[in-house]
Amino acid sequence: MPQPPRNPAETLYTVTADSLVAVDFAPRSRPRPAGPYRRLLTAPGARAFTAGSLLARLPAGMFGVSAVMMIAGARGSYALAGAVTATGLAATALVAPWTARLVDRYGQARIAVPATLFAALGSLALLLCVRHGAPDWTLFAAYAATATTPNTGGMSRARWNHLLRGDAAALHTANSLEQAADELCFMLGPVCAAFLCGTFFPEAGTLAGVLLLVSGTVVFAAQRASQPPPHPRPRSGSPLRAPGIPPLLAVCLALGAVFGATEVVTIAFADEQGHRAAAGVVLALQAAGSCAAGLVHGAVRPTGSAARRHPRCVAAMTALLALPLLAATAAGSLPLLAGALLTAGTATAPTMVTTMALVQERTPAGRLNEGMTLAVTGLLGGIACGSATGGWTVEHTSPAAGFAIPVAAAATALLVSLISRRPH
């Protein structure tokens, strides 16, 4: 193949006994090695299902805020709005594992799309009931129907587990990417919902969430080549009976309490300082710290097994959660609290990545979606408990004292992690 002419200045000509020989001194550029995330996204179909997963997951952070603003604006009752969203959370905790079991048995595309459409109808029914003044009980029934929303994050992790079998380092990077995506969605979701509902009309957040959920799920499910094969008759038993899984679910429950209590207590603290509107920004900083830490964590090759790393990650999270407690009790400053939450958030993603890695390791073959959805269910239950405990503490003591709840919950997770370090 003919080569393009080179610059004469880059060539040295020497004379030998027989001929004139050209010696090439042109600098040869070496291809720059691809980073771990770039290599990850070159897997077949990875970019397409990752994009679809992001679209489908963003509404998870939108629906709750949208429902509260829509119901409270129309009915004038935050108590009713909170009760409706709590009902949806409880219904999801009950229904999600069954949906995940169907996904494992019959395949992601076959189950995820109809389950998403049913959940979308529930959201639209809620919108119509609020819009047309239907009885209160219809709001509970409509929002409970959204519990069939599939765990897209779990399905995406299952795809990575299928594509990267035997490559522990790449799977670690993939889990970190998924955790960063979760944090990004829960950081941007409430902001998008509040903007849409406040700028356009109260139902705008719900409508946008339904559109994103359905379109994202369709794009995700369309990538058939990357989805793991279904297991119609799995030989293994329930993940609940797998060695090491019950303690992990207890850890997820405690970690969920960290998140639920932090949210409620931070809002109460900002309200006490006269800056309630800034609470969303402060919480978003915590999610931003976790998102950034997740990306960095995924780019670093882990040392040791996930079982060894897990207690260290939870210990770091427990220690860093003491910073918001100190900022609130000693300084009483909202800016200092924001910085403390940003710093504390950097321990969240490594902890969650390692927790999900252990769930993947210990879940029986053919039940991966169910196992990871059970972990998410534990988180949801913990969030509900943490929110209730944080609210009670704020009301009966002070918002600053409420920051002790996340520290206690993280310490509980650390204790369980240490006790269950070797699954039996």
**Comparison of pLDDT for 31 and 164, the residue scoring more:** 164
Residue-wise pLDDT for 336-393, tens only, equals 999 999 999 999 989 998 998 898 888 887 788 888 888 888 888 888 788 888 888 8
Range 78-96 burial, b when 16+ CB lie within 10 A, else e? eebbbbbbbbbbebbbebb
Which pLDDT band, with edges at 50, 70 and 90, does 129 fall under?
very high
Handedness of CA 25, 27, 28, 30 (dihedral sign): positive
Whole-number pLDDT of residue 235 = 65
* Average pLDDT, integer, range 12-23: 47
Residue-wise pLDDT for 190-231, tens only, equals 778 878 888 888 899 999 999 999 999 999 999 988 888 888
CATH number assigned to the domain covering 48-233: 1.20.1250
Pick the most confident of 100-104, 193-197, 271-275, 314-318.
Answer: 314-318
Whole-number pLDDT of residue 182 = 85
Whole-number pLDDT of residue 25 = 47
Residue-wise pLDDT for 241-270, tens only, equals 888 889 999 999 999 999 888 888 887 888
* Average pLDDT, integer, range 258-284: 81
Pairing label, strands 20-24, 11-15 = antiparallel
Whole-number pLDDT of residue 28 = 53
CATH architecture of 241-424: Up-down Bundle (1.20)
Tell me which residue of 72, 70, 67, 84 sits closest to 144, measured CA to CA.
Answer: 84
Whole-number pLDDT of residue 276 = 67
Please enumerate in sequence order all residues whose Cβ is within 8 A of that of 140, keeping only pairs 6 or more positions apart, or say none: 83, 84, 87
Whole-number pLDDT of residue 149 = 93
User: Rounded mean pLDDT of the chain?
Assistant: 85
**Comparison of pLDDT for 283 and 127, the residue scoring more:** 127
Whole-number pLDDT of residue 3 = 52
Whole-number pLDDT of residue 186 = 77
| Domain range list for the chain | 48-233, 241-424
Whole-number pLDDT of residue 17 = 45
Residue-wise pLDDT for 289-335, tens only, equals 888 988 898 888 878 788 889 999 999 999 999 999 999 998 888 99
Whole-number pLDDT of residue 423 = 46
Q: Same fold for the domain at 48-233 and the one at 241-424?
A: yes
* Average pLDDT, integer, range 3-24: 48
Whole-number pLDDT of residue 197 = 84
* Average pLDDT, integer, range 71-97: 84
Distance CA 106, CA 117 (A): 17
